[in-house]
Amino acid sequence: MFAHQKNRFGLFIRTIGIKRAEAKLTLANLAYNFNRLIFHERRAVKA
């Protein structure tokens, strides 16, 4: 999953501090999860 996110979102973490890096990863995960939710919702409507 992380490799997919890295390629899709251009994720390159260069921050000062662990907390900022964690925040950036959390936001990337949230965006990924929303995209997956939208994909599955659209798929359910078509079926």
Q: 38 vs 32, which has greater pLDDT?
A: 38
**Which amino acid would we find at residue 35?**
N
- Decide if pLDDT at 47 tops 80: no
Q: Where are the domains of the chain?
A: 2-46
**What is the reported pLDDT for 43?**
92
5-12 mean pLDDT: 65
- Decide if pLDDT at 4 tops 70: no
């919702």: which residue's tokens? 41
């599955």: which residue's tokens? 40
Q: 11 vs 41, which has greater pLDDT?
A: 41
For residues 36 and 24, what is the distance between their CA atoms, to the nearest angstrom? 18
What pTM was computed for the model?
Answer: 0.65
**What is the reported pLDDT for 28?**
83
Query: Taking a C-beta distance cutoff of 8 angstroms, is the pair 11, 3 a contact?
Result: no
For residues 23 and 11, what is the distance between their CA atoms, to the nearest angstrom? 13
